[in-house]
Amino acid sequence: MTQTPQAQPFYGRKISKTGVNVNTATDNQLVLKEDFNTGTTTYYGTNGALVLQLGLFADDSTYGQRVYDNNGNLVIQFGLLSNGGYGIAYFNPSNGLLISFNDGATEYKYNADGINYSQNGLLPDGSYGEVIAKPGVNVADLFS
Amino acid sequence: MAPNDAQANVPSAALAYMAFNAVYGNYNLVVTPATPGKVDLGFATVSYVSLEGVLTAQAASNPAVSPVNVLSGVNVGQQATGGTTTQQDSTGTARTLTGFTPTQ
C-alpha cells in the first residue's frame, strides 16, 4: 500500500512581500523566512529568488552564509563548505561548480572540469609558494 | 409510569414525566420522575445531562468572542500562545507570521 507523505510542518517566522497574505504565501512571495526546524534564515529578492541564506544548510550539511546572484544561483559561501574546509568559496552560477576556495592559508582555483589547477600559499608539502599544474592535472597529484 | 432511559435523555419527552432540579449549570442534574404520594428513600433516579448544560459547556469551550484590541504601551512578563501569530500591515494584509503551521 502506498503511504501518502505527511506534509512537513513549519516552525519559525515569515514576512511576505507587500500585498501578499503571509498565511498563503509561497516562498518566492516572501521577503524573509526563518525556519527554526532547520536553523536556516533565507532572504528573497524582489523577483522571488534567493539572495542570502544564513545558518545551517540541509542540502549538504554545511553552515555559514550563502550569497546568490539575481537569479537565485549560489555564487559565494562562507563557513564550513562541502569539501570539509572552512573558508570562502566562489561558485560558477551557471553550473554550481566550485571556482575557487580560500581557507585562509591557501587559495585553490578550479577549472570548468572541477580540476584544482592552482594553489597559492601553504602547499601540500608544507612549503609556501604558488603552483600551477599543466592542463588536466590536479595540483595535489604533483605532491603525491 | 416511570420513564425509561431513552425518555430520560430526550428533554422534550422527559419533561412530560419529570420535574428537575432547578440548580443549573453542572453535569450532575438529577431528574426525579414525578410520582404521587410519598417517595421512599432509594427511589430510582436517572442521571441526566440537560440540553442547556451541553450548550453552555460548548459555549464555554468555544467562546464566540473576538480577541481584545491591544493598546500601545509597555508590558513586562511572558505570554504563551499556541499556533501562529500574525501581524497585519496598514491595508489589513497579514504580512508577518510567527509560530507553527501545518505545512511549509
Q: How sure is the predictor about B92, in pLDDT bands with cuts at 50, 70 and 90?
A: very high
Residue B83 contacts A where some CB pair is shorter than 8 Å: no
- The 10s digit of each residue's pLDDT in A19-40 is 999 999 999 999 999 999 999 9
Q: What is the pLDDT of residue A5?
A: 62
pLDDT tens, position by position, A88-137: 999 999 999 999 999 999 999 999 988 999 999 999 999 999 999 999 99
Considering only the beta carbons, identify the residue of B93, B94, B98 that sits closest to A13: B98
Q: Is residue B35's pLDDT more than 70?
A: no
What is the largest distance, in Å, between two alpha-carbon atoms of chain B? 72
- Give the pLDDT score at A25: 95
Please give the grid coordinates belonging to residue B72: 500601545
Tell me the average pLDDT across B19-45. 56
Contact A75, A69 (CB under 8 A): yes
Position B35, amino acid: T
What grid cell was written down for A69? 546572484
All cell numbers assigned to A70: 539575481
CB contact A21 to B (< 8 Å):
yes
- Structural contact between residues B2 and B44, judged by C-beta atoms closer than 8 angstroms: yes
pLDDT tens-digit series, residues A68-94: 999 999 999 999 988 888 999 999 999
A73 SS3 class: coil
Tell me the shortest Cα–Cα distance from B77 to chain A, in angstroms.
21
- CB-based contact B97 A18, cutoff 8 Å: no
Residue of higher predicted confidence among B38 and B5: B38
Quickly count: other Cβ atoms within 10 Å of residue A55's Cβ: 17
C-alpha cell at A22: 503571509
Tell me the pLDDT band of B13, cut-offs 50, 70 and 90. very low
Residue where the block lists cell 525556519 = A35
Best B88, B93, B95 member to test A by mutation, with max A CBs in 10 Å, is B95
Rounding to the nearest 10 degrees, give the CA dihedral for residues A32, A87, A111, A129: 160
Q: Is the pLDDT of residue B104 over 90?
A: no
Residues of A in contact with B102 (CB under 8 A): 7, 9-10
Q: What is the ipTM of this complex?
A: 0.75
Is residue A90 within 8 A of residue A108, CB to CB? The reply is no
> Which residues in chain A are contacts of B104 at CB distance < 8 A?
7-10, 27
Q: Are the beta carbons of A25 and A8 closer than 8 angstroms?
A: no
Phi first, then psi, for residue B101 (nearest 5°) are -135, 150
- Look up residue A91 and give its three cell numbers: 561558485
Per the prediction, chain B carries an average pLDDT of 69
Please state, in angstroms and rounded to a whole number, the distance separating the CA atoms of residues B86 and B24.
39
Q: B31 pLDDT band (50/70/90 cuts)?
A: low
Q: Assign B2 a pLDDT band (cuts: 50, 70, 90).
A: very low
**How many angstroms separate the CA atoms of A64 and A42, rounded?**
12
CB burial string A56-66: b at 16+ within 10 A, e below: bbeeeebbbeb
B92 touching A, CB under 8 A? no
Nearest CB to A23 within list B89, B91, B94: B94
Residue B104, chain A, CB below 8 Å: the answer is yes
